[in-house]
Structure 1
Amino acid sequence: MAKVTHEMTIMEVLKLDPGVAPIFMKHGLHCLGCPGATMESIHDAGQVHGINVDVLVNELNQFLESNA
């Protein structure tokens, strides 16, 4: 099973499982289809939006593990 990392883009994670979309949105990353979602890493997006990326990545991985 793939594991989400800080270096992955939002789009890479969405391709693993589109069900993660609400997790991104809960953390303030609402533009899931914008060009930034395909180009910048989760880490970079987190810095721009003031998000605790460790918490976000942990929640994404927990979701993916529970749906494996």
Structure 2
Amino acid sequence: MISKDMTINEILRRYPQTLPVFERHGLDCFDCQIADFEQLEHGATVHKVDLPLLLAELNKIIS
């Protein structure tokens, strides 16, 4: 299960199928150097993305 405390890069490494979800929400984090350190919650906040919706979509795609 993906949580808000996981780093973006950790999510993408473990679950590469989540990339389209990030892209749909305007998060091109796979190219960002901070993705290794930035937690999902922080990235969503900075980019004004609905965190509960993002988490729901990410977890749906990995199930």
Q: Are 1:59 and 2:57 matched, yes or no?
A: yes
1:32 deviation in Å?
A: 1.0
Identity between Structure 1 and Structure 2 (%): 33
Structure 1's unaligned 5+ residue stretches are none
Q: What is the total number of aligned residue pairs between the two structures? A: 63
Q: Is the contact between residue 8 and residue 29 of structure 2 (CA under 8 Å) also seen in structure 1? A: no
Inter-partner Cα distance in structure 1 for 2:58 and 2:3: 9
Bigger Rg over Cα? 1
**So what's the TM-score if we normalise by structure 2?**
0.91
- Which letter does structure 1 place at the counterpart of 2:33? P
How far residue 31 of structure 1 moved from its aligned partner, in angstroms, is 2.9
Deviations 1:41-67 (A, max 9, x none): 0100011000001111111101000xx
User: What amino acid maps onto 1:51 in structure 2?
Assistant: V
Q: TM-score normalised to the size of structure 1? A: 0.85
CA RMSD, Structure 1 to Structure 2 (Å): 0.9
Aligned twin of 2:32: 34
CA positional deviation for 1:17: 1.7
Provide runs of 4+ in structure 1 moved above 6 Å.
none
Unpaired runs of at least 5, structure 2: none
